[in-house]
Amino acid sequence: MSVSTQGAALPRAPSRFARRLRRYGPAWFGGAIVLAWILVALLAPWISPYPPDAVDVTSRLLPPSAAHWMGTDTLGRDVFSRLLHGARLSLFAGFTVVLLGAALGTLVGIVAAWARGWWDEGLMRLTDLVLCFPPIILALAIAAALGIGPVNTILAMLVVWWPKFARLARALALVQRSQEYVEAATVLGLKPRRILSRHILPNTLGPLAVLVTLDLGNAILTFAGLSFLGLGVIPPAAEWGSMVAEGRELVEQWWVAAFPGLAILTVVVGFNFCGDGLRDWLDPKGRNR
């Protein structure tokens, strides 16, 4: 017995655009958040309604209003203006630490993978030595020894940031070194520096770029944590972590700590979404799903 299916509507397969939107929608959303914060950081001097360090004790701890969109802090400074200017220092610190750490770690990892022998053993033992300590604890100790200030804090973070890139770069370089095209380049007499720069390094950039994107949010969060503990910036400089620290005991004046905390949350989530999307896009098996 046959059953007529003329009146039954077959389920419609999602279009390619719908599949890509479902797959990369969070990445585009995260990218929009990151781009918005970058624009805010660049335009902060022109779009902030007040100077970030302007003190007005007669207007201290005012709630959000038309005059002060995010209220004022304990010294009467406009929280919104300080939030905008704080984006400049927080994003600069995050990008500086991650990019310099990635460059140094990639160099160490590729050299160790190519040289092998004592070079590999020595560089990897140094990497393991740094990885033995919790990053935030080691950065805290180094920052305390160097002194308070954004430059010293960035240097302290840089010391603990490069090993993860060195480990990943070494593993990727070892895989590429065993490929036939590297063996062919060696037989043809190409110098090691040319092989590393023209053949091995370009084929390791994909996973390293994903780690860089995912790590940017972590670096900004770590810098904010060090600033929260009093080691990041010198007052009255505006920075998100120090702004949260200023309002940590102000329960009724919730806006002093809540808004910079939300800023940290949004930028970290944005970078995580971007990193996840970049990882999916670089995956050849899942790109065309």
User: Which pLDDT score, from 0 to 100, does residue 34 have?
Assistant: 94
Q: Read off the CATH number of the domain in which 248 is found.
A: 1.10.3720.10
pTM for this entry: 0.85
**26-71 pLDDT tens trace:** 888 899 999 999 999 999 999 999 999 889 888 899 999 998 999 9
Whether the predicted pLDDT of 77 surpasses 50: yes
Whether residue 53 lies inside any domain: the answer is no
Whether residue 1 lies inside any domain: the answer is no
Whether the predicted pLDDT of 85 surpasses 90: yes
**221-232 pLDDT tens trace:** 999 999 998 887
Whether residue 68 lies inside any domain: the answer is no
Whether the predicted pLDDT of 286 surpasses 80: no
| Position 24 confidence tier, pLDDT thresholds 50, 70, 90 | low
What's the average model confidence in pLDDT over 97-114? Answer: 91
Whether residue 183 lies inside any domain: the answer is yes
**114-143 pLDDT tens trace:** 887 788 888 889 998 888 888 888 888 998
Whether residue 259 lies inside any domain: the answer is yes
CA separation for the pair 55, 201 (Å, rounded): 51
Whether residue 54 lies inside any domain: the answer is no
Mean pLDDT is lowest, of 82-86, 195-199, 204-208, for 195-199
Whether the predicted pLDDT of 9 surpasses 70: no
- Range(s) of the domain holding residue 147: 23-41+79-282
Q: How many domains does the chain have?
A: 1
| Position 11 confidence tier, pLDDT thresholds 50, 70, 90 | low
Whether residue 213 lies inside any domain: the answer is yes
Whether the predicted pLDDT of 72 surpasses 80: yes
Whether residue 220 lies inside any domain: the answer is yes
Average pLDDT score over the chain: 84
